[in-house]
Amino acid sequence: MNPVITFNKSYEHRLQEYTEILTDPHHKLVHSSQVHKKWSIYAELAIQVSGWYAIWKIPRLICEQLKIEFPITVFVHVVDVHYEKLAATVKVLADDGDTNLSGRHFIVPLIELWPTKKQDPSHQPGLSSTADCLDSLRVFYLYIFMPWDLEEDDSINWVREHLESRLRLFYEISTNNIPKHTAVHINNLITEARHLHKRRCVEDDAKYRVRMMQIRNEVEFLENPLLRLALLKRRERLVPKRKGNEPAHVVVLPQGKVDDYITFLNHVKPHVGATNVRYKPSLNTALIDGATDDVILLSNCRHSFKELYALQNGGVLKGLFGRDDTVVFSPQEINMLDCCGTCTFENLTIEVQAAQCGLLVRQGTVTLKNCKFVNAVKSHTCDGIIVSPGAILNVIDCDIVGFERAIIANFLSKVHVTNTKIENARFGLTIYDNSTVKLDSCHFRNCCDFAVGVETRNELEDCPNGNFDMLKMFPFVTIKNVTGEGNGADCNINSVGEIDLIQDLLNAQSDDDSSDETLDTTIVKLK
């Protein structure tokens, strides 16, 4: 895709910027219901009405409606900007996948558009102002303005009550000034709230309102800098001090019979020897009270947890029995396992029940050993494992079953899969250019589109389907004893190529008279 315009603004810059946009010139109170109008007025002054080009990052919910793969970005021509809606009508010129979206028109929120650096020369002079406004708008509505703000009383001055504290929290998260697991927790809460808000636009359910109130209370507590500091210090005091670099062993011992305890502790002893152990009544408690690099040992039952907390920065989660006997699951709707350090999951069945992604490897090295990784809800938009650039994934002696995309190896990531079965997925393993992938003794079964696919920018004469030997043409892929059965294709090569912006500029029709139906994707209005 063509490079987009980005900004790196300081806290002081954004604070001044937002204050000027949202403050009433006559010093009248600005409440939450007026925020949208303030932005509409500013956008009309700053954003060109039509003719510019952008990348549209299509949200997951829209991909689900359009029945296309997520994530995906498309190159679009902006036909018209609807300032009062903070949205724009765009025409899709090209995409990075086989979606058949080219030529179609959509109404999309402005915050989903990223102006490209290359533009029609006639629109170049106003591009900086357009991109700057979109950047400010995007940060504001993604991280500053909350879904519950419109429910506030109109007597509350939104700018004075929320702007500075929320913006400071945003910068503390983005500059790693608070613990990473706390930052991930806050981002997960806000993302969940936005998803709940979208659902409430379609259906009004009491459980959504209750959960939204819970999230609001927790986020507003963390917004307060004094309360946030006190909470972080309290959590730091509760974490037991270690001697040297020796990891702490935590035994999760749910309620049960004495004989069950004795049997379990007999299994524990060989793993801990003479070292001291801590006992916790549930996995969730062990994670909340735990520290990075803990070794958590699980009994043979079902264990529920909310998120990994400090363990996401490193540690071990291990079942002491057969993997079918120890099941872990979570109600988390975003990323069930979100890892940033050296993490190991062993002898477990990992049930993904509600999350959009089972395991996100953001940074560090994650190892799955003798695990069964299962999509329990058969959601076609549920991905199994996503490996971010620079991260490493090791999969050893595992079964991965029932995902939209079982494993995604992004560029510059490293993925090693050994003695593993991947079954009943739409896409088994998706590999991007400049990743490093090693497959040894792997079996792909019933992957309906393909078992292994390579997304490459290299220009190929054709993009064939074939057997696994086709992977040998890529120096970053190593295979040994890879087999398949019942797949749509064992191997698929997709040459994405580079979108020719100049050619698209010549071919684009600003005054398009197409009769193609325009689909409004602004499911949730910003006001």
Place of tokens 């997520």: 70
**Torsion sign across C-alpha atoms 237, 239, 240, 243:** negative
Position 523 pLDDT exceeds 60 = no
pLDDT of residue 39: 96
pTM: predicted TM-score of the whole model, two decimal places: 0.80
Place of tokens 């595992």: 398
Q: Where are the extended beta strands (E) located within 202-334? A: 249-252, 277-280, 294-298, 302-304, 314-319, 327-330
Task: Compute the C-alpha angle 154/157/158, nearest 5°.
Answer: 95
**In terms of domains, do 373 and 433 share one?**
yes
pLDDT of residue 522: 61
- Can you tell me the distance from the alpha carbon of 31 to that of 161, in angstroms, rounded to the nearest whole number? 10
Confidence of residue 203 (pLDDT cuts 50, 70, 90): low
User: pLDDT digit string (tens) for 25-56?
Assistant: 776 778 898 999 999 999 999 999 999 999 99
Burial level of 364, CB count in 10 A (0-12/13-18/19+)?
Answer: middle
Q: Report the SS3 class of residue 250.
A: strand
pLDDT of residue 294: 93
**In terms of domains, do 135 and 167 share one?**
no
**In terms of domains, do 276 and 346 share one?**
yes
pLDDT of residue 507: 43
Confidence of residue 96 (pLDDT cuts 50, 70, 90): low
**In terms of domains, do 140 and 158 share one?**
no
**In terms of domains, do 150 and 140 share one?**
no
Query: What count of residues does the chain have?
Result: 527
**Running DSSP on this structure, what letter comes out for residue 143?**
I
Q: Which of 130, 145, 160 is the last residue of a domain?
A: 145
Residue 391 is inside which H or E element, if any? none
Q: Report the SS3 class of residue 277.
A: strand
- In 10 A of CB 10, how many CB atoms? 9
Position 330 pLDDT exceeds 90 = yes
Residue 354 lies in a domain: yes
Residues above pLDDT 90, as percent of the chain: 56
State the residue range of the domain holding 104. 1-145
Place of tokens 């004075």: 160
Region of 33 please: left (phi>0), alpha (psi -120 to 50) or beta. alpha
Confidence of residue 502 (pLDDT cuts 50, 70, 90): very low
User: pLDDT digit string (tens) for 351-399?
Assistant: 999 888 999 999 999 999 999 999 998 655 689 999 999 999 999 999 9
The DSSP bridge pattern shows strands 113-115 and 53-58 to be antiparallel
**In terms of domains, do 445 and 303 share one?**
yes
- Can you tell me the distance from the alpha carbon of 377 to that of 485, in angstroms, rounded to the nearest whole number? 24
Place of tokens 């059965």: 485
pLDDT of residue 504: 40
**In terms of domains, do 255 and 206 share one?**
no
Residue 387 lies in a domain: yes
**In terms of domains, do 252 and 351 share one?**
yes
pLDDT of residue 441: 97
**In terms of domains, do 249 and 169 share one?**
no
Confirm if 506 and 120 have CB atoms less than 8 A apart. no
Position 525 pLDDT exceeds 60 = no
Confirm if 317 and 330 have CB atoms less than 8 A apart. no
Rounded to the nearest 5°, which phi and psi values hold at 187?
-60, -40
Q: Which of 114, 145, 176 is the last residue of a domain?
A: 145
Confidence of residue 499 (pLDDT cuts 50, 70, 90): very low
Average pLDDT over residues 194-202: 73
